[in-house]
Structure 1
Amino acid sequence: MSPLLKEIRHNPLLWLLVFVPLVFAFHHLRSESHTLLFLLSVLAIVPLAALLSHATESVAAKTGDAVGGLLNATLGNLTELVIALAALRAGQYMLVKASIAGAIVTNTLFMLGASFLLGGLKHHVQEFNRVSARLQAALLFLATVALLIPSAISKVDSAPGALFTHKLSVGLSLLLIATYGLSMLFSLKTHRGLFASAESGEAGEEPWPLGLALATLAGVTVLVALVSEVFVESVQKAAESFGMSQAFVGFIVVALVGGAAEMASAFSGARKNRLDLSVGIALGSASQIALFVAPVLVLLSYGLGPTPMDLQFWPGAVVMMLIATMTASLVTNSGRSTWFVGVLVLMVYGVFAMTLYLLPPSAG
């Protein structure tokens, strides 16, 4: 445990870990103080994200950036999954769908764009494996098409009933899960050589032992999930005091805080010229949510939810996911990036964020 304690002792950012027990204490003693719990949970997630970032880099140093990015995306998405499961049990299906769509758009645009920008400010031109990026973008496009179909059919004349929509959603969920499993077989087994890192990157600090890094990843991910539950419980009431609409909270704020751990790893990798790790986390996390988390939630709703959930999203969410996917495909096609490419991607995200912030509460 000495490397972990040494890291905490010498990194002032990790001193904020003191807010983790404070979140649970105040949640137990003053559960009605929503604004306070909102601020405490944000302060607690920041150091947990930094710790998760260091552990992920240590795993990536042992396994390679492709596997490291996949592992970080998987553990990072446990936060979104726990949040969605809590909302699923309560029957808050709109919150579930908002968190899914928001996570896909935020990971694809904000995380990817900020990684390009932060890495480009330090390195003139960065390269990454475009085969891996194009695969993830193609998977995202497939998932967006699957989410578009139920929404499009519901808007046509003589639209079929709810029973058809539920059956279609179950069938699409099984197809998406099967596709995700086959993509893992393709990238990690049969064609693993195509996904080697384009750049070795900076050496950086001495990585932790693999066992310690994996244990830290698992433990911190659980803490992030628990703190995120407190965050979600308090964010709606706190948003009202800050003047934020419900649409902005579900699509932007929850997605940003829920993905904080993954973002810390992606941004750190980009600064160290390990853009394969950053792209793998950003696009891998988005495609994993679209192809695995969302379909699994549909299937679990038949046992956990009061009624079955479908894959019918509101039109604005589908349009944003489709544009985000097309943007990712465009900027990753060359396998090279500069800081201005990151600016362009962030501007697309800024358009979405501004629209949702100014959206009247009744429309959200």
Structure 2
Amino acid sequence: MGAIGQGLRRSPILGLLIFVPLTILGERIWPEKHTLLFLFSVLAVVPLAALLSHATESVAARTGDAIGGLLNATLGNLTELVIALTALQAGQYLLVKASIAGAIVTNTLFMLGGSFLIGGLRHHEQRFNQASARMQASLLFLATVALLMPALVAGAEGRSAMLQPLSLGLALLLISAYGLSMLFSLKTHKAVFAAAGPEEAHAPGEHWPLRPALIVLAVVTVLVALVSEVFVASVQQASDVLGLSPAFVGFVLVALVGSAAEVATAFSAAAKDRLDLSVGIALGSAAQIALFVAPLLVLLSYVIGPAPMSLEFWPGAIAMMLLATLAATMLTSGGRSAWFVGVMILMVYAIFAMTLFMLPPKP
């Protein structure tokens, strides 16, 4: 565990770990101070994200970028899942759907664009596996088509009764597609998704040993879940004080806080010229949310929700998810990136966030 201790001392951002116990204890001591707990929980996620990032990179260094990207996406999406489950139990379906749509758009645009920008500022041009990016973008397009169908059915006269059965069937199809995509990329066609960029040279002691890294992953995952519960319990009241709509909170704030661990890892990998890992995390996480997390929440709503949740999103969310998918598909088609490509992707994300802030959907 000596390597972990040295890493902790070298990282000033981990001083924010003090906010982890403050957040957990503050929920018991000041349960009515929602805005303070909201700020504490946001600050607590930052160092936890840094720890999760370093531990996951240490594991990924021993498994390869393909499995490492999947590991980052899975662990990073744990926060979004915990937040969504808590909101699901409370019947806040608009917040749940906004967080799903926001997580897809944030990972596809903010994380991918930021990785291209950070990597491009340090390296003139970067390469990544074109086949892997194309498959993840195709999975996102498949999921967007599936999410579009309930909105069309809901708007058709006399068809609203079929909305819930359709959502249930689509949820099962999307989960099946996600499982088959894992079989395709990690088993039957594993060689196609090998890293296109240069191999990273690791300094001695830069990565933690495997067993301590796995222990850190387990402990930090539990802490992220605890902090996320405080966050979701306070975010609604805090957003009312700050004058923000539930859709904006879910789409922007929840998505950014929930993906903090993945963002840290993707940006760090891009700076080290490991753009395959960054693209795998960004697009892989978005595809995982669309194909697995969203349909899983539909299935769980039958068990823990006050009523079954459908896959019907408001039209603006559908448009943003579709445009984000098309933007990612176009700008990753060449397998090469530079800093200005990242700027263009980030501009699309800023347009969406500004529009949602000024013109939130009706509850």
User: Per the shorter chain, which TM-score range?
Assistant: over 0.9
Q: Percent of pairs identical after alignment?
A: 68
Cα separation, 2, equivalents of 1:186 and 1:260: 28
Question: What CA distance in whole angstroms lies between the structure 2 residues aligned with 1:297 and 1:123?
Answer: 40
Letter in 2 for 1:177: I
Quote the Cα distance in structure 2 between the aligned partners of 1:88 and 1:16. Answer: 30
Aligned to 2:178: 180
Whole-angstrom CA distance in 1 between matches of 2:75 and 2:196: 24
Partner amino acid for 2:259? G
Instruction: State the alpha-carbon separation in 2 of the partners of residues 18 and 5 from structure 1.
Output: 16
Report the CA distance between 1:27 and its aligned residue.
1.0
Q: Which residue of 2 aligns with 1:309?
A: 309
**Letter matched to residue 241 of structure 1:** V
Secondary structure of 1:62's match?
A: coil
User: How do 1:1-364 residues align onto structure 2 when only pairs under 5 Å count?
Assistant: 1-156=1-156, 158-162=157-161, 164-205=162-203, 206-359=206-359, 363=362
The TM-score with structure 2 as length reference comes to 0.96
TM-superposition CA deviations, 1:82-117 (whole Å, max 9, x none): 111112222222221111111001110101000100
- Report the TM-score, using the length of structure 1 for normalisation: 0.96
CA-CA distance at 1:242 after TM superposition: 3.0
Aligned partner letter, 1:195: F
Quote the Cα distance in structure 2 between the aligned partners of 1:189 and 1:49: 30
The answer to whether the 8 Å contact 1:55/1:208 transfers is yes
**Aligned AA (1:176):** L
Whole-Å separation in 2 of the counterparts to 1:125 and 1:159: 54
**Structure 1, residues 239-261: CA drift from partner, whole Å, max 9, x if none?**
23333333221110110011101
Equivalent pair of 2:96/2:250 in contact (CA under 8 Å): no
Q: Which letter maps to 2:127?
A: E
Q: Quick one: which amino acid aligns to residue 362 of structure 2?
A: A
Per-residue Cα deviation, 1:265-284 (whole angstroms, up to 9, x for no partner) = 00000000000111111111
Q: Distance in 1 between matches of 2:320 and 2:236?
A: 22
Partners of 2:80 and 2:254 within 8 A in 1:
no
Structure 2: gaps spanning 5 or more residues: none
**d(CA) in 2 for partners of 1:10, 1:98:** 37
Residue 245 of structure 1 contacts residue 359 of structure 1 at CA under 8 Å; is this kept in 2? no
Q: Is the 8 A contact 2:94 2:246 kept in 1?
A: no
Partner Cα separation in structure 2 for residue 112 and residue 316 of structure 1: 21
Q: 1:10: Cα distance to partner?
A: 2.1
Task: Provide the rounded CA distance (Å) in 1 between the counterparts of 2:202 and 2:242.
Answer: 40
- Rounded to whole Å, the distance in 2 between the matches of 1:301 and 1:236 is 20
Whole-Å Cα distance in 1 between the matches of residues 134 and 294 of structure 2?
21
Q: CA deviation at 1:169?
A: 0.9
**Displacement, 1:200?**
2.8
Deviation at 1:155, TM superposition (A): 1.3
Q: CA RMSD in A?
A: 1.3
Distance 1:300 1:186 in 2: 27
CA contact (8 A) 1:247 1:359 kept: no
- Deviations along 1:40-75, one digit per CA (max 9) or x if unpaired, are 111111111111111111111101111101001001
Number of aligned residue pairs: 361
- 1:363 alignment partner, SS class: coil
SS of the residue corresponding to residue 159 of structure 2 reads coil
- Equivalent-residue separation in structure 2 for 1:271 and 1:106 (angstroms): 19
**1:332 is matched by which residue type in structure 2?**
T
Runs of 4+ in 1 over 6 A off after TM superposition: none
Conservation of the 8 A alpha-carbon contact between 1:153 and 1:159: no
Query: 2:87, 2:232 within 8 Å by CA — same for their partners in 1?
Result: no
8 Å contact kept, 1:114–1:267: yes
